[in-house]
Amino acid sequence: MNARLLIVDDEEIALRNLQHVMEKEGYRVTATQSGAEAVALLGKQGFDVVLTDLRMEGVDGMDVLKKSRELQPGVEVILITGYATAESAVQALKHGAFYYIAKPFRLDEVRKVVAEALAKVGLRRENEDLRREVERYRDGEGIITQDVEIQRLLDMARQIAPTDCSVLITGESGTGKELFAKYLHRQSARADGPYTAINCGAFSEQLLTNELFGHEKGAFTGATALKKGLIEVSAGGTLFLDEVTEMALSMQVKLLRVLQEKEVLRVGGTRPVKCDVRVLAATNRDVTEAVKNGSFREDLYFRLNVVNLRIPPLSRRKDDIPLLARHFLAKYASRMQKPVTRISDEVLARLMDYPFPGNVRELENLIERGTAMAQGDVIEVTHLPEAFQKAGGYSLRTIAGRLPTLEEQERTYISRVLEEVKGNQTAAAQILGINRASLWRKLKARREEEPGK
């Protein structure tokens, strides 16, 4: 154990006995009979735990405790006293003492308290190491990656951000398309302006029109006041249209006018309002296919697709999986105030072999659940959803003597999750880390390809 202990007691016999016991435990011990010397030592070298007597001449244990908090905030302090009172115990804990031991004490009790204090120090340091590791790969705008392709896309985003051109961000659900939209906004000259986002697939055509374009007072029943739409509200900033291919054709015509004329006409209005807004759009669909089948206007596609950023799925960014998993672990352990600091090797191995149909969002869901279910400091396989636990044997099953494609892997897992939740698509979508509409589209595509099933 290379833990470093500082023991402070003005009674030499008590000091040497405690020093001997702690050294037998394998700790590196520095011992002193002076509180003043203890404070000086804290200013010169690092310690993990301080055991100090409370009553001493001059600089007492409470002074050592307070100076420890000031000089080494990460050190844990254990106070020992032969004059224990409720008041002194409360004061000690109030000033951050780890524990308060009354004399006479049992050596087993001291050993146990020191071990617990060191465990707390270790957990804190593991969390700090984890945060430092993640920060090494954080670009400063919230995107965590060590993947070469993502870094190339970030370079491209930095180049085009100041140009104010429209950008179409494509990729599967859960890959982080909105993170890139926010990145473009923050890197642009519009960074001080508003950033607003809307999911076009979450509204009916009428509601989406009202949300984007706003309305005049009296435009329809219930329109008791003028309302500015998101396009107008975003003036001077950025508007992000997620799932833009879910927009009705009539809405696409109106959006095209906004992009061409830089003006918006409110519902019920007669005069267009000039609106300087940059539009970023995203979709998880094949836009060229949507243009071919007539569900998306070609002229709007060309207006939006001045630059295309295609975000690769997590299955093609294997190096990011452990990094992101640890980031989510630190995030949820802190939020839930749980001492979970590690992911077991078995879980990491399964994560690396897993196809992740829900991409980064699904990985985050898995780690959030694992953190919530963990009983100690490690996420084990048993802390993950049952469907994931059973997925251990799926990965290399051959089909007609060959390894399955990623698409076939995804279908197998989706089927397994649906079976697990007894066909509940809402529950399945949540486990997969995708929205219900995306799951519905995947199932629809499968039915069209396999009409007999």
pLDDT tens for the chain, 453 residues: list them.
579 999 999 889 889 999 999 999 899 999 999 999 999 999 998 999 999 988 888 898 889 999 998 899 889 999 888 776 767 777 777 778 888 888 778 888 899 999 989 988 887 777 666 666 655 555 545 688 888 899 899 999 999 999 989 999 999 988 999 999 999 999 999 999 999 999 998 899 999 999 999 999 888 888 889 999 999 999 999 999 999 999 999 999 999 999 999 999 999 988 999 999 999 999 999 999 999 999 999 999 999 999 999 999 998 998 899 889 988 998 899 899 888 888 988 888 889 888 888 899 999 999 999 999 998 889 999 998 877 776 553 444 444 445 566 677 777 778 878 877 778 888 888 777 777 778 888 888 777 766 555
Give yes or no for a contact between 297 and 252, defined as CB atoms under 8 angstroms apart: yes
Q: How far apart are CA 403 and CA 371, in angstroms?
A: 33
CATH class (in words) of the domain with range 4-125: alpha beta
Question: Counting Cβ atoms within 10 Å, is residue 97 exposed (0-12), middle (13-18) or buried (19+)?
Answer: buried
Distance, CA of 127 to CA of 335 (rounded, Å): 13
- Predicted local distance difference test score (pLDDT) of residue 391: 57
Domain limits, the chain: 4-125, 151-312, 315-449
Residues in CB range of 221: below 8 A, 6 or more apart: none
4-125 and 315-449, same CATH topology = no
Is residue 177 within 8 Å of 219, Cβ to Cβ?
no
Please answer whether residues 273 and 133 qualify as being in contact, where contact means their C-beta atoms are separated by less than 8 angstroms. no
CA-based radius of gyration for the chain: 30
Residue 245's pLDDT is 95
Q: 33 with 60: CB under 8 angstroms?
A: no
In this predicted model, what pLDDT tens digit does every residue of 377-403 receive, in sequence order?
Answer: 899 999 988 777 765 534 444 444 455
Question: Under the phi-then-psi rule, with left for phi > 0, alpha for psi from -120 to 50, and beta for the rest, what region is 433?
Answer: left
Longest dimension (CA), the chain: 93
The fold of the 315-449 domain, in CATH, is Helicase, Ruva Protein; domain 3 (1.10.8)
pLDDT digits over 47-95, tens only? 999 999 888 888 988 899 999 988 998 899 998 887 767 677 777 777 7
Residue in 314, 308, 324, 362 with CA at minimum distance from that of residue 145: 324
Tell me the pairing of strands 238-242 and 278-283. Answer: parallel
Residues 6+ apart with CB under 8 A from 407: none
Letter string b/e over residues 347-363, b meaning 16 or more CB atoms within 10 A of that residue's CB: bbebbeebbbbbbbbbb
- What the block records as the tokens of 89 is 């115990």
14: how many CB neighbours lie within 10 A of its CB? Answer: 16
Domain 151-312 class, CATH top level: alpha beta
